Amino acid sequence: MSTKDYLEKDYYKTLGVAKGASADEIKKSYRKLARKYHPDANEGDPKAEGRFKEISEAYSVLSDEKRRKEYDEARTLFGGGGVRMPGSGSAGGTYNFDLGDLFGGAGSSGGRLGDLLGGVFGRGGGATGTGQARPRRGADVETETSLSFSDAIDGTTVSLRLTGEGPCKVCRGTGAKAGTVPRVCPTCEGTGQGSRNLGSFAFSEPCKTCRGRGLVVDDPCPECSGSGRAMSTRTIQARIPAGVADGQRIKLAGKGAPGERGGPPGDLYVRVHVEPHPYGTFSRSGSNLTITAPVTFTEAALGAEIKVPSHGGMPVSLRIPAGTPNGRTFRVRGKGVRRKDGTFGDMLVTVNVQVPNELNGKARDALESFRDATAGADPRAELLKNANG
């Protein structure tokens, strides 16, 4: 453990003894507390596990005459634990002043805690709920889903099967083979923290021996090879908001992998694929809906009031002015897709002028009269004139 630990942690308080307690009192109190909080007696209780580590750490210092003296001196020198080191309490990456020189390298004492645990409780106590000391945020998860055209516009709830890493079920996350227990990491003595010295600064980083777990496994679980982690599948219900577009990535906060030891869950990112409209009636253009409406030649030429379908509602009326050319687009306001801010896009109606493929006698007579009445106008006159520059 580091000098920082010495300054921040009150080992006497942790063990519930007075500062001047005898070695015997310390030992007695430790045994009582260690039995109460031992992982075997508190399976799957991360709080008890944390307490157990604290108790073990406190005892490893106070039970050693030399280290207890160093600890007392350190705390006297720096005001009895009232000093908070810069960056303390925050995650790795911040730097702390390295006071190791002052105390003659008090942090090196390999194996002590591990021996202690082995000695007091023996081995083969069965699987225990153990892991890293700190709460850990769950991982962010990415997945995909396919939505129908309508569901993308209206919003929907989808079932998503997520495959992700979680605690190994065989060893319950300990990483240890059945019938064995992990032991406290001798390098970091269970804190999971290592430090790297750069000049006069010491950087905190996860312990290299145990990769931050605070524990090492001698007989690894065959299922997870000692990692304590395994792939598992879960199904969740996810609410997809109205108006999502094809290819959009939606963030569902807190729906990612569960956190560990009280840590918050990660986020879920869902890539959405939107299927085309089953009859091709509508298409999407951002928050606008597009539709092609057939109109007759006379509707386009004379003007008309036509009815066009809207998505999920009654048909709407649209006025086509006289002389509307083929392919002109009209805008019906507010009949598009709901936007994030609650407003709606528009429906864009493009007219497609139809040519009758069959004419009865009366219609033919009428069209022939129309032709005769408009004989003077050649629609290709311009084309012919400009063809040769």
Interface with Zn ion by CB under 5 A: which residues?
A: 168, 170-171, 185, 187-188, 207, 209-210, 221, 223-224
Query: 183 or 311, CB closer to Zn ion?
Result: 183
List, in order, residues 6 or more apart from 193 with CB less than 8 Å away. 2, 92, 204, 205, 206, 207, 212
Query: 68 or 229, CB closer to Zn ion?
Result: 229
Minimal distance, residue 201 CB to Zn ion, in Å: 21
Minimal distance, residue 228 CB to Zn ion, in Å: 6
Enter the tokens of residue 10.
Answer: 């009150």
Give, in order, the Cα–Cα distances in Å from 9 to each of 54, 162, 186, 187. 9, 41, 20, 19
Residue 179, phi-psi category: left (phi > 0), alpha (psi -120 to 50), beta (remainder): left
Enter the tokens of residue 297.
Answer: 């030649």
Query: 207 or 348, CB closer to Zn ion?
Result: 207
Query: 182 or 345, CB closer to Zn ion?
Result: 182
Minimal distance, residue 182 CB to Zn ion, in Å: 11
The residue behind tokens 């609410």 is: 239
Give, in order, the Cα–Cα distances in Å from 351 to each of 76, 171, 240, 283, 289. 88, 67, 33, 15, 14
Beta strands in the chain (DSSP E): 95-97, 141-147, 156-167, 183-184, 193-198, 201-206, 215-216, 229-240, 249-252, 268-274, 282-285, 288-296, 304-308, 316-320, 329-332, 347-354
Minimal distance, residue 229 CB to Zn ion, in Å: 8
Minimal distance, residue 171 CB to Zn ion, in Å: 3
Minimal distance, residue 227 CB to Zn ion, in Å: 7
Enter the tokens of residue 185.
Answer: 């990491």
CB half-sphere exposure, 249, CA atoms < 13 A: 6
Query: 193 or 324, CB closer to Zn ion?
Result: 193
What type of residue sits at position 147? Answer: L
CB half-sphere exposure, 326, CA atoms < 13 A: 7
Minimal distance, residue 84 CB to Zn ion, in Å: 24
Query: 160 or 202, CB closer to Zn ion?
Result: 202
Query: 28 or 211, CB closer to Zn ion?
Result: 211
Q: How many residues does the chain have?
A: 389
Minimal distance, residue 248 CB to Zn ion, in Å: 38
Query: 114 or 243, CB closer to Zn ion?
Result: 114
